[in-house]
Chain A
C-alpha cells in the first residue's frame, strides 16, 4: 500500500540575515519548512555556532570549561582567536566587565576592546552587553560606532533600551537582537516597536530567553515552535531567525558544574556537561533555532557533527 507523504504547504518563510562583511559572512534564516523537514521545504542555511568570549576573566566557571581556554582568559583578543581556532562560525563578545558590580567599564573602554577583537579575527561578531539595560544602551552605542560598517549583531535590546540600540544599529550598519522574557506576545511587540523606528525586519534576530535542559527548556522550545509556525504561515513580525544563548544557561546548571565526586550518581562530569550543552542546543535546533552561542569547544564540535547529519536531505 503506497503511503502518500503528508506535506504541509507553507506560504511564507523565515527572513534571511547576513552577518559580517565579505568575504567572511555568515548567513542565517531563510527556512521555508519546519526544522530539518527537507521533504517539504528549503533549509538554505545550516544553524551557525558562536563561541563566547568575555572581556574579563570569568569567575565561577568550572575547571572543565576554563581548561580549553587556559592562558587566554584575561585577554579577549587571544581568546577570540582561540575560538576561531576551535572552529567557531562567529565570536560572541560579552561585555561582562561593564556591569556596575564588576569593573563598571566605561562605554569607550568597551568599544576599544570590541575594536581590538574585531581587528584580530575574520569571523562575524556578536556583541552582548552586561545585562543591565541602561548600561547596555550606552555600551552598545559606543561599540556600534567603533565597529561601524562591520555588520555585527548587537544585543540584547529590551523594551527599556531598544531605542538607543536600534538607532545605533541603523546609523552604523549593524543588526539587533530583540530579547523578550519567554513570552511570544512581548516578542512580537518588541519586533514591531523596532521596525517602527525603520530598522528593516531582516536585520532583527529574536532572543526568546532560552532556559537550559532541566531548567525550563520546554517553555522556550514551545515559544520557538510557535514562532517558526508564525513565520511559515505569514506573520512578518515573527519571521526573524532565532538566537539561542545556550552556553550562559547551561553552565549555570548543577548538572554541568558538579564534579563526579560531588554527584556520583550522575556519572562522569566531562561527558555529562558537554551533553547538557549539546542536547540543549539540539533540542532548540528542532524547535527552530538558527544561531547558537555556546561556551565549550567540545560542545561546538559535537553539535556540528549532529547538524551535519540533520542537514542531509530526508526527502522522499
Chain B
C-alpha cells in the first residue's frame, strides 16, 4: 500500500530548494507518503519521476466528485481500514430520498425539510448532502417531473435512482446540468447507463447482486472508459452490508482495481429506530454515500454527529473557539473556570459544570486544541496566556469578583498567574468530575 518516504525521496531532485513549502526534499517525501502533500507542489521533479511516482502513489480508492459548485462533495481517496492507522479522508455523504409516487407538493415539502437539516457542531455547520429521487412509479414522465420539483427546490446535488434508461435519460434532461449521481448501472443496462454518465460527465453507481458480479460489472464499465464510479454490492441487510463494505475496502487496499471506488449503501429497514441505527453502521464502516428516507432532525442529528466524530483526524485534535462560554445562566457571582480549547477537554469540563448545577463561565484558552497537561508541557498553557485570556475576553465585565479556578493538574501555575493577572487563583480538582464537590466546599464569590 502506497510508497514509503524513502522510495519517493530517491526520485526527487534533491535540491532542498524549499519551493514545495517543505524544509528539505526528504521532508517533502515524508509529507507525500503521509498523504499531506502532492507531487505537483514540487516544480522541479522530472516527468519520468512524475510518472513512476504518480502511478504508484495513486490512492487505492479513487476520488469521486458529486454535484457542482458550493455543495459539491468529494468521496473516496481512502487509504486505511482503521481510522487510527491514519485517518478517514472524506466523510460519508448523506442522501435523503423522495419518491416519484409522491405528489409535487409532498416532494417540495420534504425537500424543504431536507434543506433545513443543517446543524451546528463544535462551531461548524454540518448538513446532509444530497436529495435522492426514486423512480418507484416505474414511469419515465413521473420520474422526470419529480426530479424537476427536487431540482427546482434545492441547491443540493441529486441522486437519480432508476434502472430504466429511458426514465434516466428524461431525468437527466431536467437535472443533468448539476451533475447528479446516476443510480444506476446493472448487468442488464450498463452500456446505456455508462453512455449517459459519460455524456453528462457524472458519477455512476454500479450495482451487482454479489461481490463477484459487482467486480465483473465494474471492469466492464471501466473498459467503456468511465471511471467516476460508486459501488453497490446489492447487500441490504445490515450484517451483510458490513461484510461487503469490509471486503470492498480490504480488496481496494490490496489494489484490486474493480473495487478501487467509493461505495454506496442503502438503508432499507422501515423501522423508524432501526433504520437510523443501520445508517450509523454504514457511516462507521466505509460507506462513501448512504441513502435513507427519514428527514426527521431527531434522526439526522445523531448521524451527522457520528460522521463528524468518526472522520475527525486522530492526529489533529478538534478545538473549540477560544471565548467565554456560559453554562446555565450565570450571574455576576458565578465561578470562572479556565481550561484549554481542546474540544474533548472543554466538553468534559462543560459537562461536569453543567451537572454540578451551578451556573458558571468557562474560558478555554487557545492551546491549538491540546489538553491541559499537554498544553502545559508544550508551553502553550502558561500564566501569560491565561492572563491574556482573562484580560482580553471581557470576563471582568461579567463578574463582580476576581477569582479564577484553574485545573488541579496545573496547580504549579497559580503563583505566577496570580501575580500577572491580579486575579485570585483557586486550584480546582485534578479531574473535572470533582468540580461539583469543589464548588460545594470552596466556592463563594
Binding site for B on A (CB under 8 A): 1-3, 5-6, 36-39, 60, 99-101, 131, 211, 213-219, 221-222, 225-226, 229, 252-253, 255, 265-269, 271-272, 274-276, 278-279, 282-283, 286, 302, 305-306, 309-314, 316
- Knowing A252-B355, A309-B237, A314-B240 are in contact, say whether A1-B298 is a contact too (CB < 8 A): no
Max count, chain B CB within 10 A of own CB: residue among A1, A37, A217, A229 = A1
Give chain B residues whose Cβ lies under 8 Å from the Cβ of A275. Answer: 273, 276-277, 298-299, 302
Quick check: is B272 within 8 A (CB to CB) of the other chain?
Answer: yes
Shortest beta-carbon distance from A103 to chain B in Å: 13
CA distance A311 to B303 in the complex (A): 23
CA distance A100 to B438 in the complex (A): 12
| 29 A/B residue pairs, CB under 8 Å, sorted by A | A1-B212, A1-B219, A36-B242, A37-B243, A60-B357, A214-B309, A215-B348, A216-B344, A216-B347, A216-B348, A218-B310, A221-B309, A252-B355, A255-B301, A255-B302, A266-B297, A268-B298, A271-B299, A275-B298, A276-B302, A278-B277, A279-B302, A283-B280, A286-B285, A306-B277, A310-B239, A314-B240, A314-B242, A314-B243
Number of B positions contacting A (CB below 8 A) = 60
CA distance A213 to B246 in the complex (A): 23
Give chain B residues whose Cβ lies under 8 Å from the Cβ of A305. Answer: 271, 273-274
Listed from nearest, the 5 A-B pairs whose CB atoms lie closest are: A267-B298, A314-B243, A267-B297, A272-B298, A222-B84
* Cβ contacts B199-240/A at 8 Å (1 or 0 each): 000000000000110111001000000000000000001111
B83 nearest CB neighbor, chain A only: A222
A299 nearest CB neighbor, chain B only: B273
Q: A5-B211, A36-B239, A309-B239 are in contact. List 14 more A-B contacts (CB 8 A).
A: A5-B247, A6-B250, A6-B254, A38-B239, A217-B309, A218-B310, A218-B312, A222-B82, A225-B83, A271-B298, A278-B273, A279-B303, A309-B237, A312-B239
CA distance A37 to B216 in the complex (A): 24
Q: What's the count of A-B pairs with C-beta under 8 Å? A: 155
- Knowing A101-B437, A131-B433, A216-B344 are in contact, say whether A267-B301 is a contact too (CB < 8 A): yes
Our pick among B119, B239, B240, B310 for the contact of A221 (Cβ within 8 Å) is: B310
Are A316 and B243 within 8 A (Cβ)? yes
Shortest beta-carbon distance from A190 to chain B in Å: 17
Are A6 and B351 within 8 A (Cβ)? no
A268 nearest CB neighbor, chain B only: B298
Our pick among A60, A213, A271 for the contact of B306 (Cβ within 8 Å) is: A213
CA distance A18 to B243 in the complex (A): 29
Give chain A residues whose Cβ lies under 8 Å from the Cβ of B238. Answer: 306, 309-310
Shortest beta-carbon distance from B437 to chain A in Å: 4
CA distance A282 to B275 in the complex (A): 13
A219 nearest CB neighbor, chain B only: B344
- Knowing A216-B347, A283-B284 are in contact, say whether A302-B309 is a contact too (CB < 8 A): no
Give chain A residues whose Cβ lies under 8 Å from the Cβ of B258. Answer: 1
CA distance A99 to B436 in the complex (A): 12
Within 8 A of A (CB), among B163-214: 211-212, 214
B355 nearest CB neighbor, chain A only: A252
Binding site for A on B (CB under 8 A): 82-84, 119, 121, 211-212, 214-216, 219, 237-240, 242-243, 246-247, 250-251, 254, 256, 258, 271-274, 276-278, 280-281, 284-285, 296-299, 301-303, 305-306, 308-310, 312, 314, 344, 347-348, 351, 354-355, 357, 433, 436-437, 440
Give chain B residues whose Cβ lies under 8 Å from the Cβ of A38. Answer: 239, 243
Shortest beta-carbon distance from A89 to chain B in Å: 19
Shortest beta-carbon distance from A97 to chain B in Å: 14
Give chain A residues whose Cβ lies under 8 Å from the Cβ of B247. Answer: 3, 5-6
Are B274 and A306 within 8 A (Cβ)? yes
B249 nearest CB neighbor, chain A only: A6
A255 nearest CB neighbor, chain B only: B301
Give chain A residues whose Cβ lies under 8 Å from the Cβ of B314. Answer: 218, 222
Give chain B residues whose Cβ lies under 8 Å from the Cβ of A286. Answer: 281, 284-285
Shortest beta-carbon distance from A295 to chain B in Å: 14
CA distance A238 to B251 in the complex (A): 28
CA distance A255 to B243 in the complex (A): 31
Our pick among B82, B212, B309 for the contact of A225 (Cβ within 8 Å) is: B82
Are B299 and A252 within 8 A (Cβ)? no
Our pick among B212, B239, B251, B312 for the contact of A6 (Cβ within 8 Å) is: B251
